[in-house]
Structure 1
Amino acid sequence: MSNNRPPWTTLACAAAGVAAAAVLARYAPGVRRQRIPARRLHIETSRAFNRSSALLACSVLTDSAMEHYRGSFSNPAMYVPPVVATCSLLAGLHGGADRNAQTHAMRHAIYWGAALTGVAGTGFHIYNVMKRPGGWSWNNLFYAAPLGAPMALLLSGALGAAAERLRNQPARSPRLLGMPAGKALGLLSGIGLAGNAGEAALLHFRGSFQHKAMYAPVSVPPAAAALLLHATLTKPRPRWLARVALQLTWLIGWLGAAFHIRGVARHHGGWRNWSQNIYNGPPLPAPPSFSALALAGLAALRLRESERR
C-alpha cells in the first residue's frame, strides 16, 4: 500500500495553515500594538489578567467537574474545586469589564480563596499519587490524580489577585512585590506557562506523541515562556520575538482544543457516545489554558516594555 497522502489531505493541510495564519493576524491579542496612555495602561493590563484568570478558571471548572464526577465525588472535598472555580470565573468576567482603578474587595477575596484551594488541592493530589503502590513513579504520575489541575486553580487565583493589586497602583510606574509591575507580572506569567507546558509534556509523552501536532504544545509554549522571562529580567525594550511566540501560544491553545475534539470523535461511537468518550479521549478543557496564560503574558510584556528599568 502506498504511503503517499491523497491530494485532498494535502489541500486540507494547506487550507488549515492559511486559516491559522488568518486567525492569528485577525484575532490574536497584541497583534495591533495600540498606544495606550500611561494613566490607563495598568488598568488595561489588570483587565487582561482578569480575563486570563477567567479563562483558566473555566478550564479548571470543566476539568474538575468531569473528573470528580467520574470519581463519584467519593470525598466531600471534591465538591469544592468546581464551586471555587465557578466563583473565580465569575470574578474574572466581572473584572474583565471593570475599568475602575480600585481593587474590588469581593473579587480579591475570591481570588485568594481560589489560590488557597489550589494549594490544598495540590496536597490532596500529591497524597493520591504517593499512596498508590510504587509511590512516586512515572506510572502513578500518568494515571493518578493530575498534579497540574489544582495548580491551575492556584494560578487562576494568583493571576486575578495580581490584577486586583495592580488596580490600586499609581498610573505611572506601578509596582508589585517591590519591583516594577510589568516585571512581577511577567515572572508570574512565564513561570505559569512553563509549568503548563510541563503538564502537557507529561500527558503527551503518555500518549507516545502519536500525532505530530502533539509536539506543538511542548515546543512553542516553553520557548514563549523562556522569551517572556528573558524580556522580563533584562532591560525593557520592544521584544517582537517574545510577542510572536506568545501569539502562537495563544493560537495553539484554541487549535489544541479542536484537535482534542477530533480525538474524542475518533473513539468508538464518536460524539454520539459522548458520555463515555469525553472521559476516554484527550481532555477537552486542557488546551485553552495555554491561551489564557499567553493572554496574561502579552499583557505583562506590554506593560514591561513601557517601564524604564
Structure 2
Amino acid sequence: MNIKTFMNKLLENWPVKILCFIAAVLIFFFHEMSTLSSKSYMIPVTVLENGEMTLASEADESRMVKVTVKSRRENLADITEGDFKAFLDMNSVKEPGRAAVDINVTPDSKVMLIDPLELSFSPRTLYVPVEEYVSRYVPVKPTVTGSAAYGYEMVNYNVVPDVVLIEGPESSVNSIEYLSTESVSLNGASRDVVAVSSILHTNRRITVPSAENYKVVLYVRPVGTSRIIKNIPVVFKNIPESLFVTNQEEIVDVTVEGSMLALDKLSSSDFVCAADLNSVDSEGSHVVRLSVTGPKDIDIIKVSRSEITVYLSSGEPSAVEDDGTFTETEFPAGEAAVEITEEQ
C-alpha cells in the first residue's frame, strides 16, 4: 500500500473517526476518574485585610472550608490539612455592611505535582458582616499584684509611654477605654518599684503594633494615719518661789498624724505637756495655757485642753511639788520637739 492509498483510507469518513477518538479519550478519562479515591480536609479560613475594611466584631472567626481531593490512594496518603491555605480576600469589599466575599484556596506545590489530581472546595463564597478598619490611641494602665510592706502603700503610678495604638474593627476599637500591662509585683515593697512590661490584650480582633517595652513605675510611700495619745501628764515649770501648785495630777490627750510606722511606736512618754507659770507671781487660781511637744516626725493636730486652771498656795505643797525648774524631755536621736499652743 502506497502513501496515497494510506492517506485516502485515513481521511475516509474522518468526522466519524474524530468523534470515535474523542469518545475513546472520554471513556478512558472517566474510567481513570472512577478508579480514583477521594479525601476531604477542613481548612480554616484566614482573612486578608486591605487596611480599609475588616470583619465586624460579631463575625464568626471559626470559619472553615471543605477541600476535597481526588487522586490515587497512594497519593492521598501524603496529603495533610497543612498542604492547603484558604483565604478570605477583603480587597473586593469597599463599604461596611454585609458582603459576599469569595474564598481562595491555594494548595502546596507538592500537591500540584500529583497526577492525576482533582480539587474542589465548598463553600466558595461567604456572606460576612464588614466594618471599617480604624485605629486610635488609648491609655495604658499597669496591672499590679501583691501588697506593699506593712506601713507602706502605692500612692500613684506612671507608665512610659502612657498611650498605645490599637487597630481593628471600628466597634471593637471604640469599646476599649484602656489597655493594661502584664502584671507588675508590688509584694513587700517599701520603695518605688520600676519594671519593664508588655501590653496585655485578649481581644483577637484588636491589633497592637507596639506591645513591648513599657516602663512601669509604682510609687510607694509610708501609710499616713492618725492616732490619739492618751494620759499625757501636765508638767508645771517656772513656779514662783515660796509658792506651791496644789492641783491634783492633770492629764491631756493629743491627736497626732504621721506615718503608720512612726505612730505605732508612740506612747505618752514621748510627749511633754507643760504649763508655764512664768507670768504668775501670786497665790490663788490662774488660767495658764498649755504647750505640747513631741517627736519631730509626727504632727500634733489637736490637744484635748488648751489651758488649765492652776492653784497656787504659799502653804505646804500638797499633790504636786516643783522646784521652779523644768527639764525638757530627751528625745531619741534624730527627733526634735514640735510645739502646739492652741487646741485645733
Range class of TM-score, shorter chain: under 0.3
The structure having more radius of gyration, on CA atoms, is 2
TM-score, reference length from structure 1? 0.17
Q: Counting helix residues as a fraction of each chain, which structure ranks higher?
A: 1
